[in-house]
Amino acid sequence: MIETIVFDVDDTLYDQLGPFRTATLKLFPEQIKEGHIPKFYLSNRKYSDIAFDRAVRGEITQRDLQIYRVKEACREFGFTIDDEKAMEFQQTYVGAQKEIEVDPVMVKLLDKFLAQGKQLAVLTNGESNHQMMKIKQLRLNRWFPEENLFISGSVGHAKPTIEIFNHLENKLNLNKEKTMFIGDSFENDVVGAKNAGWKAIWLNRRQHPVPTNAFQADYTISESSEVLNIFE
C-alpha cells in the first residue's frame, strides 16, 4: 500500500497552460493565434529545460533563462523579439500565475489522501522565491506542512538527480517502495523517481510521445481525473 505521495507543482497540481495563454494573447496577439498557443507553450518548455541545468550550475542567471526560452520559442514560430520584450512576457506570465488555482480533481485527490492519513509532500524544480509564490497562491498549506515542501533552489539539487530524491527520503523517513511520485515531466519526474526506487505516475497532459528509456512510469495518464481511478 502506498504510504507517501509526492507531487510536482507546475502542470501537475495546476494547469500551467492557463497563465501562459494569458501572457501570449496579451504580448503576441498577431504572431501567435490562440489555436497555436499549446505548441508555443511546449516550445517554451523545451527551451526552458535546455537552459535549466546551466542555471542550476550558475552558468547563467534566472533572467538569462527566462529571456532565452521565450526568444527561442518565438524564433521557432517565425518572429524575433528583443530582451526587453522577452522580460515583458515573463512579467506578464508571472502576473497571471498569481491567479492560478489547484486543479479541482487534484483538490478531491488531496482531500482524500489527507483523510486517509497519507504522508504528502511537494518536490518542484525552480528558483525558491518564484516557486514559493506559486505554492502560496495555490494555498498548498491546506494539505502539505511547510517542512514537506521541497524546492530545488533551496535544496541545492534538482530533479532528476538521485541526490534530491535521497534528500526527501532522509527528511521524510519514507519507505521508497511505498512512495508514489506524480508529475508531468517524464525526464524529471518519472526517470528521477524510478531511478530512486519509487513508483511514478506520469501525468502527460500535453500528449508527449512515450520516450524509449530504461525507466517507465507505473501509470501513464493524460487527464488528472484518471489519477482518481488509480487510487480507488
Which residues constitute the domain of residue 28? 17-97
Q: Rounded distance, CA 142 to CA 139, Å?
A: 6
Q: What pLDDT shows up at residue 232?
A: 82
As a whole-number percent, the residues of the chain with pLDDT over 70 amount to 100
Query: Which residue from 92, 163, 86, 91 is spatially nearest to 125, judged by alpha carbons?
Result: 163
Q: Are residues 123 and 104 in the same domain?
A: yes
- Show Cβ contacts of residue 30 under 8 Å, excluding neighbours closer than 6 positions: none
Q: Are residues 111 and 191 in the same domain?
A: yes
The residue-averaged pLDDT of 223-232 equals: 92
First to last CA, the chain: 12
Domain containing residue 31: CATH number: 1.10.150
| Total domains, the chain | 2
Query: Which residue from 3, 10, 2, 4 is spatially nearest to 152, judged by alpha carbons?
Result: 10
- Show Cβ contacts of residue 129 under 8 Å, excluding neighbours closer than 6 positions: 153
Q: Are residues 150 and 88 in the same domain?
A: no
- Show Cβ contacts of residue 152 under 8 Å, excluding neighbours closer than 6 positions: 56, 124, 125, 126, 158, 159, 164
Q: Are residues 51 and 143 in the same domain?
A: no
Q: 17: which 3 cell numbers?
A: 497552460
Q: Are residues 78 and 188 in the same domain?
A: no
Domain containing residue 130: CATH number: 3.40.50.1000
Q: What pLDDT shows up at residue 213?
A: 86
The domain boundary residue, chosen from 58, 73, 97: 97
Q: Rounded distance, CA 197 to CA 35, Å?
A: 40
Q: Are residues 68 and 115 in the same domain?
A: no
Q: Are residues 129 and 210 in the same domain?
A: yes
The angle that helices 128-137 and 83-97 make with each other, rounded to 10 degrees, is 40
Taking the CB of residue 191, how many other CB atoms lie within 10 A of it?
Answer: 21
The domain boundary residue, chosen from 42, 65, 97: 97
Count of residues making up the chain: 232
At residue 209 the predicted structure's pLDDT band, cuts being 50, 70 and 90, is very high
Please state the pTM of the whole predicted model: 0.95
pLDDT tens digits, one per residue of 102-134: 999 999 999 999 999 999 999 999 999 999 999
Q: Which amino acid is at 14?
A: Y
Q: Are residues 126 and 210 in the same domain?
A: yes
Q: What pLDDT shows up at residue 224?
A: 94
Q: What pLDDT shows up at residue 114?
A: 97
Mean residue pLDDT of the chain comes to 97
Q: Are residues 222 and 136 in the same domain?
A: yes
Query: Which residue from 79, 61, 59 is spatially nearest to 70, judged by alpha carbons?
Result: 79
Q: Check if the beta carbon of residue 92 is closer than 8 Å to that of residue 23.
A: yes
The residue-averaged pLDDT of 77-98 equals: 98
Q: 196: which 3 cell numbers?
A: 530512486
Q: What pLDDT shows up at residue 218?
A: 98
Q: Does residue 19 carry a pLDDT above 90?
A: yes
Q: Check if the beta carbon of residue 30 is closer than 8 Å to that of residue 24.
A: no
Q: Are residues 148 and 202 in the same domain?
A: yes
At residue 139 the predicted structure's pLDDT band, cuts being 50, 70 and 90, is very high
